[in-house]
């Protein structure tokens, strides 16, 4: 049972990057369940269209699935045009396209580092540039999906930490530049969320029970937790929340210690350490 009115977003339209799976799929589902229509954007055409069809079927609201790449401004512009043509407006934007993998700096190529920044940080910027005209008209709101990795140093995550820190800084500027126009821009920083590709890829199964003990709330988050946070931030209840970072992690980062899945610091003290050696230990 939802904590929010079922029709709180009736007549509203959302545009979501990275909405084909995981957290952003769940956030889109939550918006549709509360009356909005939506467009989700992703690079894999079959996947994004299947996801949109399922969202439409499950919620009874309309969801368009459009193949596109946030690194390509022309791709975003075409998706925005298609959304406005179909729905007439865009009220909410979720910037959620992202990439991640484990790598020490010693094994992280310049191109790999750049690619993550292009998807996460530049992708967020490109999405804002493509949508800001419509969001200003609607006096709408943005949510960018970040992380807590850059609050402290996180081993094997230099690329993602830099990318997410850039997103946080960018959204602060959007809030202060477009606040006078009635636009709000906030960030959700999730902790580990069960059932997502990120947890499956980055946290070995044999340490999940142990790492859960380090979370004060004693559990991993759920996609529904992030969906609820998104509904709140887009709702009238958050009308004075602008330029904020909402951390949804069960207080984990306040109690963070080095994960025992990563044999730190020995891994960095060995001569000639490589990405492949470290990956073999995870």
Taking each helix axis from N to C end, the angle separating 223-234 and 22-33, rounded to the nearest 10 degrees, works out to 50
Instruction: Kindly name the residue from 12, 61, 75, 146 that is annotated as catalytic.
Output: 146
Tokens of 14: 């959302």
Is residue 75 annotated as part of the catalytic site, yes or no?
no
Q: Any alpha helices (H) in 5-152, and if so which ranges?
A: 22-33, 45-59, 73-87, 110-117, 123-138
Helix (H, G, I), strand (E, B) or coil at 71: coil
Contacts 24+ apart (CB under 8 A), 146-154: 146/187, 146/188, 146/189, 146/245, 147/189, 147/190, 148/189, 148/191, 148/247, 148/249, 148/252, 148/253, 148/256, 151/253, 152/253, 152/256
Residue whose token pair is 């006096």: 139
Is residue 164 annotated as part of the catalytic site, yes or no?
yes
Q: Please, what's the largest Cα pairwise distance for the chain?
A: 60
Instruction: Kindly name the residue from 61, 75, 164, 259 that is annotated as catalytic.
Output: 164
Dist. CA 211–CA 220, nearest whole Å: 9
Query: Catalytic site residues?
Result: 146, 164
């Amino acid at each position: 049972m939802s904590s929010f009115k079922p029709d709180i977003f009736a007549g509203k339209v959302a545009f979501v990057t990275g909405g084909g799976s995981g957290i952003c799929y769940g956030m889109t589902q939550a918006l549709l369940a509360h009356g909005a229509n939506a467009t989700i954007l992703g690079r894999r055409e079959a996947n994004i269209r299947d996801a949109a069809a399922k969202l439409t079927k499950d919620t009874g609201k309309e969801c368009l699935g459009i193949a596109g790449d946030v690194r390509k401004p022309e791709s975003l512009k075409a998706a925005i045009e298609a959304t406005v043509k179909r729905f007439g407006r865009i009220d909410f934007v979720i910037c959620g396209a992202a990439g991640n993998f484990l790598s020490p700096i010693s094994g992280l190529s310049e191109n790999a580092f750049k690619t993550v920044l292009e998807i996460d940080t530049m992708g967020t910027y490109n999405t804002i540039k493509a949508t800001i005209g419509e969001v200003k008209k609607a006096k709408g709101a943005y949510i960018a999906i970040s992380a807590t990795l850059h609050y402290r140093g996180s081993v094997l995550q230099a690329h993602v930490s830099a990318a997410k820190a850039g997103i946080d800084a960018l959204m602060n500027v959007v809030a202060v530049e477009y606040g006078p126009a009635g636009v709000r821009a906030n960030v959700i920083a999730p902790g580990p969320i069960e059932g997502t590709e990120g947890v499956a890829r980055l946290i070995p199964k044999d340490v999940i029970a142990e790492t859960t003990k380090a979370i004060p709330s004693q559990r991993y988050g759920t996609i529904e937790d992030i969906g609820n946070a998104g509904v709140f931030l887009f709702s009238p209840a958050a009308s004075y929340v602008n330029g904020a970072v909402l951390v949804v992690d069960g207080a984990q980062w306040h109690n963070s210690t080095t994960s025992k899945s990563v044999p730190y610091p020995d891994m960095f003290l060995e001569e000639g350490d490589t990405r492949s050696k470290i990956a073999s230990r995870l």
